[in-house]
Amino acid sequence: MTRDDVPLAVEWAAQEGWNPGLHDATPFFAADPEGFLVGEIGGQPVAVISAVRYGSDYGFIGFYIVKPQYRGSGHGWAIWQAAMARLAGRTIGLDGVVAQQDNYRRSGFELAHRNARYAGQRAAGEISGTAPAVALTALNELPPHLPLDYDRGFFPTERASFLRAWVTQPGTVALGAVGDAGLQGYGVLRPCRDGYKIGPLFADSAAVAEAIFRTLAQHVPAGSAFFLDVPTNHPSAVSLATQHGMQVVFETARMYRGAAPDISLERTYGITSFELG
């Protein structure tokens, strides 16, 4: 795909109910300009997939969608093989929807953990409860290397091009918690087709995660929905969502082909993106 083609994949994802961000195409393409594939018949797109390369040894698959009227005819398998070929020799991650998880296992993927999308509704007024005393700063006011360096604890390799575009999308609020030892966490809120999503939300402690979450949630307009994608094997992350009245609306499985990377799930309170990891 070219840059102008990527919104097609985002639109199809919206039609599947995945609720992408309004401006996701730009950071997604920045991650790997050659990482988005389209399958065509007679010049018409019938299937899409992303096979994004990160560094020299990691890749991530997302946007695996076949147009409904073309399903069951082998087009999905064809574009899947093209994506796998593009990431050959790398550890490959994906967030698989429930209906596809058995198929991924047949391609050599193994379950690492499950994720749940929690949804809430922003009420008028302040977010209830007592806010932790944590100093927050807009990411664009911090030295650029701080969030990039901090992010390396949560992702198998650097993703600077993606992150720079991710945190500067229109309508985005990106905050960092800075302590004596440096950055202690950061989070991003972005507008989506339906409401807003918080992601990532990374923090060294539950108190820092709570402070970032509460401040980001205050930027959601009253009456709007907001979402947080949580690894379900992290009890404090699940508690953060449920204590704010959020409910599970969607589930995926993080799966890897190859050794699961050593990333800090115990400090992951919100996943960046089901589409690109």
Span 208-224, average pLDDT: 95
Q: Which pLDDT value is given to residue 98?
A: 84
d(CA 171, CA 166): 11
CATH number of this structure's domain 117-270: 3.40.630.90
pTM above 0.85, yes or no: yes
Determine the pLDDT at residue 135: 87
Q: Is the pLDDT at 204 greater than 90, yes or no?
A: yes
Mean pLDDT of 187-201: 98
pLDDT at 179 (0 to 100): 84
Residue intervals in the chain for CATH 3.40.630.90: 117-270
Max distance between CA atoms of the chain, in angstroms, equals 60
pLDDT band at 180 (very low <50, low <70, confident <90, very high): confident
Confidence of residue 125 (pLDDT cuts 50, 70, 90): low
Q: Which of 127, 132, 182 is nearest to 153 (CA)?
A: 182
Residue 127 has pLDDT above 90, yes or no: no
pLDDT at position 123, please?
85
Q: How confident is the model at residue 131 (pLDDT cuts 50, 70, 90)?
A: low
Contacting residues for 29 by C-beta, under 8 A, at least 6 apart: 3, 6, 36
What are phi and psi for residue 274, nearest 5 degrees?
Answer: -70, -25
Q: Choose which CATH entry (3.50.50.60, 3.40.50.300, 3.40.630.30, 3.40.1480.10) describes domain 6-113.
A: 3.40.630.30
Phi, psi at residue 104, to the nearest 5°?
-65, -35
Domain with CATH 3.40.630.30 in the chain: 6-113
Q: Average pLDDT in the 57-61 region?
A: 97
